[in-house]
Amino acid sequence: MSMTDSSSRSPQAQGDTGHATYGDYKAMQRSKLRSWSLVGAVILIGYVWSTFGTGFNPVDFVRAFGTSVVFIVTEMLPPDLSIIPRLVGPALDTLYMSYVAAIACIFLSIPIGLLGARQTRLGPISFYAARILTAFVRSLPSLILAIFLVAIMGIGAVAGTFAMAIGGVGILGKLYYEAIDTTSLNQITGINAAGGTWLQKVGQGVWPQARPALVTWSLFRLDLNIRSAAVLGLVGAGGIGFDLDVALKLFQYQQATTIILVIFVMVIMVEAINGTIRKYTL
């Protein structure tokens, strides 16, 4: 075939060489739209079904909301600021508990995340063991775990710290291996082809890609621990939550408001610190 004949082929004939056309792109977009529409319909149907299953009634909701507003205005306000000096110690205990539990949780979750990720797993046994372990820990409510540890270790911050450290592994370990699984295989394949070790694959192939997600989730664990400590204190696991429990049981709602405000300030402080750390590490 001459050069003239080759160059005079029609666009339709050139489109038969296997290259994607605009029509193929539109067909792909329509297929994605149908898929997302189906997913959205299933979510909506499930939401409506679950709403009726819970016995939700809009009238009762509006009535309860009005009652709540009246209760807050008449019983919880203004906050009793005179108790702030005696809340300093419990607030510091909460920060200590949250920090220690977060660091312990991170170190426990790193090997679980590496073993549970498809990109870095060492074998099927460790892979499934890591995933089953995180699923088992997630099935244990943190409050139940705290009650169990308080019964063993006694009332205090130690039980709460262990509860947050162990309970956080179920979530953080899962987030770690999911973040690792989203990394590109190109760098990992190149390191394997060059004869790199497993540690080199993790350090040079996985960590540079997964670092933003891993750092973000690790810092979020510290933020979450502040709020968890307030709840765990209700069962005697130490921290400022214990004072909140006492105030509620004694119907000292204005003191409870002050304690909630202190917890809010701590969350804001931790969020500011986390933002600074992310700024210099990501």
Q: 102-114, pLDDT tens digit by residue?
A: 889 899 998 888 8
**For residue 221, which of 103, 142, 92 has the smallest C-alpha distance?**
103
For domain 93-281, give its CATH number from 3.30.70.20, 3.40.50.720, 3.40.47.10, 1.10.3720.10.
1.10.3720.10
Arithmetic mean of pLDDT over the chain? 80
Decide if 215 contacts 241 (C-beta within 8 A).
Answer: no
Instruction: Read off the pLDDT of each residue in 145-172 and give the average, rounded to a whole number.
Output: 83
Q: What pLDDT digit, counting tens, does each position of 159-216 carry?
A: 888 888 888 888 888 888 888 888 777 777 777 777 777 777 777 777 878 888 888 8
Asked if residue 267 has pLDDT above 50, the reply is yes
**270 φ/ψ angles, rounded to the nearest 5 degrees:** -65, -40
